[in-house]
Structure 1
Amino acid sequence: MAESTGLAKVMMPVPDPHPDVFDVQWPLRVADVDRTGRLKFDAATRHIQDIGSDQLREMGFEETHPLWIVRRTMVDMIRPIEFKDMLRLRRWCSGTSNRWCEMRVRVDGRKGGLIESEAFWININQETQGPARISDDFLEGLHRTTDVNRLRWKAYLKAGSREDADEIRDYPVRVSDIDIFDHMNNSVYWSVVEDYLYNTPELLTAPLRVTIEHDAPVALGDKLEIISHVHPPGSTDKFGPELTDRVVRTLTYAVGDETKAIASIFAL
């Protein structure tokens, strides 16, 4: 696995064939695509969540490890996946610690579309709502696809300020956005990205990396605002030396003075 370099990290390639890579297929449906027929980021992340649940059940740990929260999801849209395609999703572990892991999902379309993703998942104790140790037998299965066993959390993004924002706009939280944990579901954060891309369609003409880091949950009734910034080339060393030559856009999800999440968008 390539060493992490923050936002510009190289994702672990799929170890294929490998008996511990979870491999499923399902069709791309009308609710998954935008007006042009492209698989949307919010729909892709729903699929990423769903295959995670399916793999947990397949491995036999759905009852003992039922609650996970995602701290970061990185999604590369390499080539758009289009309507009426058949999706092949492969999921495997790319790094672990005792209480969290990084899980890779590769989504292939039969017509050549490709989305790569990696998510940082934390195992949660239902009673304390804090990080919980992953059982040894679960870790044994995860370790079969990676030799990274001392994974540490490091934030890649910092919140943007209101003072120098390019735009600040409201994003109403709907009842249908709230999931079983009484928080705005992870995939809804990606709906904000889709709204942003609608107004910046030029970003979709090249491979794109979008990363979202979560700091705190959004609840029903929160007055959520999206604070947008555009960082031109030469000012983007804060995101890592590999990104100083390109535009990096950020979206800060804020409720009052509290940052709930931060997204970054840039061309690969």
Structure 2
Amino acid sequence: MTTSTTDTGLAKVLMPVPDPHPDVFDREWPLRVGDIDRVGRLRLDAACRHIQDIGQDQLREMGHEETHPLWIVRRTMVDLIRPIEYPEMLRLRRWCSGTSNRWCEMRVRIDGRKGGLIESEAFWININRETQGPARIADDFLDGLQRTTDVKRLRWKAYLTAGSRHDANEIRAFPIRVSDIDLFDHVNNSVYWKVVEEFLAPQPELFESPLRVTVEHDAPVAFGDKLEICLHVYPPGSTDKFGPELADRTVRTLTYVVGEEVKAVASIFAL
């Protein structure tokens, strides 16, 4: 049995793909023009849509789409190792790296044939349709997930804390559109990554080396909310608050706020 790496917060080492393995879900599809930026790079928000899509495909393949139809993501960690550029065929592999009886962590690796690579891990919570709260995962479903991991007591631990308005390097409004709203009547997970793309756009040099971006969700954003993003830039030597492994590099955070309520927090740093 393959295990997940011991968690060390934002600097955690993601579990390698257990390949070959019969329970690694493996699919290919082409990179589309609607998923790329002006230079042809697969955008992070589009990559996260692919991560959602292969999750739905695997759920259907395992026979649990009707019994476990609703999931929300609590955290997504994405490592942009090498940009994936158009034209390209994407290979996506998805497997479980940790479980509890109501949630799980799922790894997705996205490879391009020309060497582009994105690694990701997301913390997914199974949701009860009636109560809209966490629901127990069926035993047969759990058994299938645990074939790629022996982590069976997965617990939630936040890696990030919100930045405040008074010392932000920048505060920017981010209008919410009706097309951003999903089945839960709040902003879809992938939209939070559009915010990341907006803040990365003026700094293309950040894409020249491997980059880790993590988004943690605290509360949903609804249509009509006046969403603002607070940017904080922490230089090397001031970043031990993110763990000793990150004290030697710049860490940027984005705090998503509506009024005084924190909705999400993201971090960006070089690997």
* Superposition TM-score tier, normalisation by shorter sequence: over 0.9
Match in the other structure for 2:137: 134
- 1:99 aligned onto 2:102: yes
Once superposed, what is the RMSD of the aligned Cα atoms? 0.5
- With the length of structure 2 as denominator, give the TM-score of the two structures: 0.98
- 1:218 aligned onto 2:221: yes
Map residues 48-197 of structure 1 onto 2, 5 A cutoff. Answer: 48-197=51-200
- With the length of structure 1 as denominator, give the TM-score of the two structures: 0.99
Matched residues in 2 for 1:113 and 1:202: separation?
17
Name the SS for the 2:159 alignment partner.
coil
Match in the other structure for 1:9: 12
Residue deviations 1:124-173 (CA, integer Å, cap 9, x gap): 11111111100100000000000100000000000000010000010000
Matched residues in 1 for 2:205 and 2:166: separation?
26
- 1:231 aligned onto 2:207: no
1:45 to 43, 48, 57: 48
Which amino acid in structure 1 is aligned with residue 37 of structure 2? D
Name the SS for the 1:199 alignment partner.
coil
Which amino acid in structure 1 is aligned with residue 11 of structure 2? A
Matched residues in 1 for 2:155 and 2:184: separation?
25
How far did 1:39 drift? 0.4
Matched residues in 2 for 1:37 and 1:178: separation?
26
How far did 1:36 drift? 0.5
How far did 1:236 drift? 0.5
Which amino acid in structure 2 is aligned with residue 129 of structure 1? Q
How far did 1:201 drift? 1.6
Matched residues in 2 for 1:200 and 1:188: separation?
20
How far did 1:231 drift? 0.4
Q: Structure 2: state its 5+ residue gaps.
A: none
How many pairs were matched up? 268
Matched residues in 1 for 2:224 and 2:39: separation?
33
How far did 1:2 drift? 1.7
Which amino acid in structure 1 is aligned with residue 59 of structure 2? L
Name the SS for the 2:197 alignment partner.
helix
Name the SS for the 2:133 alignment partner.
coil
Name the SS for the 1:78 alignment partner.
strand
How far did 1:200 drift? 1.8
Q: Structure 1: state its 5+ residue gaps.
A: none
Matched residues in 2 for 1:252 and 1:187: separation?
16
Matched residues in 2 for 1:26 and 1:68: separation?
23
Residue deviations 1:50-76 (CA, integer Å, cap 9, x gap): 000000000000000000000000000
Matched residues in 1 for 2:223 and 2:36: separation?
26
